[in-house]
């Protein structure tokens, strides 16, 4: 690598040690190391092994001071660099989109299993946000038609940019699920807001301060509001055809979600635990019983 020297340039070791010293008092040593490694890879293109082998090389890092201040202000690293990784895809983020969680990768895996088992061809993702679920499904099963809906235009703009960058043919549409009807689907998938507002006091500060609350929280009085609306939509589409609804859910509302599936006449309702053994997904089947 050819290095152009300037007064502002420092060794990689300096950048890392300086950042770790400042961030470890905020995040702890282990989390700070993960943040800094992620940051260096995103900005300088250096893998973790590169960072070890090239520690004493000099690099230009123009955004270092400004971004270090953002990290000190507890802005999540994914928002600082503008992306997160999900099912191996680089997903761009903005202030209207959540940072994808590992649990949601498990949701995608369940949808892919259903596609393989049922030969489903049309998948609808409701509350798509950054488009991570829809794009991951399309990348794994490119022969499916995948559509993503969200009521936030800024989220849809980001999802469309992600589709363009990843060269994945997914149609993203601005729509309010409380005032919209869909023509057809084989699988409806959704990870809607499901955290009761009363749980805010137990959540990490950086989530509350920087992630979009409208994509996370529901009222304590109506914690299943979005699920109820999606079930109502899905029932209209799936009553006379074979199909599935697949949800990520709050782990404390498994039985309530099961009863909601019964209320909306699902032929089969199945709860699935995540890797931590918590109720995290619900599958509801419609159509024939044979």
- What are the 10-residue block averages of pLDDT along the chain, 290 residues in total? 52 96 94 96 96 95 95 95 97 96 95 96 96 98 97 97 98 86 88 90 74 87 94 87 94 96 95 92 83
In a domain, 83, yes or no: no
Provide the domain count of the chain: 2
In a domain, 85, yes or no: no
- Structural domain boundaries enclosing 34: 10-73
Distance of alpha carbon 216 from alpha carbon 64, whole angstroms: 31
Are residues 187 and 65 part of one domain? no
Which residues have C-beta within 8 Å of that of residue 197, sequence separation ≥ 6?
Answer: 217, 218, 219, 220
Q: Residue 89: beta bridge partners? A: 86
pTM summary value: 0.92
User: What's the pLDDT score for residue 288?
Assistant: 64
Quote the distance between the C-alpha of residue 205 and its chain's center.
19
Q: How many helices (H) and strands (E) does the chain have?
A: 11, 13
User: What's the pLDDT score for residue 78?
Assistant: 96
Q: Residue 283: beta bridge partners? A: 246, 270
**Residue 99: DSSP 8-state:** P
Q: Residue 189: beta bridge partners? A: 125, 246
In a domain, 190, yes or no: yes
Return the exposure string of 241-253: e unless at least 16 CB atoms fall within 10 Å of the residue's CB, then b: eebbbbbbbbeeb
Cα–Cα nearest to 149, from 260, 257, 229, 258 = 229
For residue 89, give Cα distances in angstroms to 34, 188, 266.
19, 21, 33
Are residues 164 and 225 part of one domain? yes
Distance of alpha carbon 134 from alpha carbon 148, whole angstroms: 6
Are residues 157 and 28 part of one domain? no
User: What's the pLDDT score for residue 177?
Assistant: 79
Are residues 193 and 56 part of one domain? no
User: What's the pLDDT score for residue 182?
Assistant: 72
Distance of alpha carbon 71 from alpha carbon 37, whole angstroms: 13
Are residues 32 and 151 part of one domain? no
User: What's the pLDDT score for residue 4?
Assistant: 40
């Amino acid at each position: 690598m050819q290095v152009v020297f300037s007064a502002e340039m420092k060794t990689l070791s300096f950048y890392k040690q300086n950042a770790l010293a400042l961030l470890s008092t905020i995040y702890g040593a282990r989390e700070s190391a993960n943040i800094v490694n992620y940051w260096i890879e995103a900005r300088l293109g250096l893998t973790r092994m590169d960072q070890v082998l090239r520690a004493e090389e000099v690099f230009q890092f123009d955004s270092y001071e400004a971004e270090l201040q953002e990290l000190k202000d507890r802005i999540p690293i994914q928002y600082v660099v503008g992306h997160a990784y999900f099912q191996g895809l680089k997903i761009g983020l903005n202030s209207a989109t959540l940072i994808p969680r590992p649990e949601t990768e498990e949701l995608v895996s369940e949808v892919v299993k259903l596609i393989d088992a049922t030969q489903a061809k049309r998948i609808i993702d409701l509350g798509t946000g950054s488009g991570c679920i829809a794009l991951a499904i399309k990348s794994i099963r490119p022969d499916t038609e995948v559509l993503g809906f969200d009521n936030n235009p800024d989220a849809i703009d980001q999802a469309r940019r992600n589709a363009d960058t990843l060269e994945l043919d997914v149609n993203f549409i601005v729509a309010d699920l409380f005032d919209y009807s869909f023509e057809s689907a084989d699988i409806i998938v959704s990870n809607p807001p499901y955290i009761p507002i009363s749980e805010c006091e137990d959540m990490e500060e950086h989530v509350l301060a920087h992630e979009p609350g409208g994509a996370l929280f529901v009222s304590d009085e109506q914690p299943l509001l979005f699920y109820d609306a999606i079930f109502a939509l899905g029932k209209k589409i799936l009553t006379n055809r074979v199909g599935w609804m697949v949800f990520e859910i709050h782990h404390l509302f498994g039985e309530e979600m099961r009863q909601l599936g019964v209320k909306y006449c699902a032929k089969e309702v199945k709860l699935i635990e995540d890797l931590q053994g918590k109720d995290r997904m619900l599958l509801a089947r419609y159509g024939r019983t044979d």
